[in-house]
Amino acid sequence: MSLISNLFGKKKKAFKASCDISKEPLEKGFGYLLTTSQIVSSKKFWDNIMTEPETMSYTISHFKGGDEMATRVRSMIFEKHSTVEKPWIISDSYIHLFDVNKEEARSDAHKWWEQEGSFVPNQVGKAEDTMATSDFEEVKNYAVMEAGRERVD
């Protein structure tokens, strides 16, 4: 019976992950685990997000034409990223955008891999719920009103 089970039984699918920013696949055990607050606190992250090919036209319209619709879209982009409740797994290619303790983030990622994505670090949740109100408002203002300016001017 056990030989037949081994031959024909369902095999557990291998746990896989990809970078939450680039969507590039990650090798098991690699990457960094960050919270949404750590992600949205990075000006480099916002400069990157607001100048991607999909968002650059809104950034140009926001700065060059004062287009209210473009500014609203940038606000929705901020909302989308700042309301993520789960931790973010980030590749080596993107960790340079964040001013975080890389050893701790790598260690958390190892725990996350070991627990197949169920490990949750401290301060996980929506940025608005885990950051001081003034810090959150400052980050939001930068993301919506200022991010990407130097790529347009």
pLDDT in tens, 70-123: 999 999 999 999 999 999 999 999 999 999 999 999 999 999 999 999 999 999
Band of pLDDT at residue 152, cut at 50, 70 and 90: confident
How far apart are the two ends of the chain, measured CA to CA in Å?
71
Q: Rounded to whole angstroms, how far apart are CA atoms 96 and 63?
A: 26
pTM: 0.88
Helices then strands, each counted (H, E), the chain? 9, 4
Give Cβ neighbours of residue 113 (< 8 Å, ≥ 6 apart).
15, 17, 28, 29
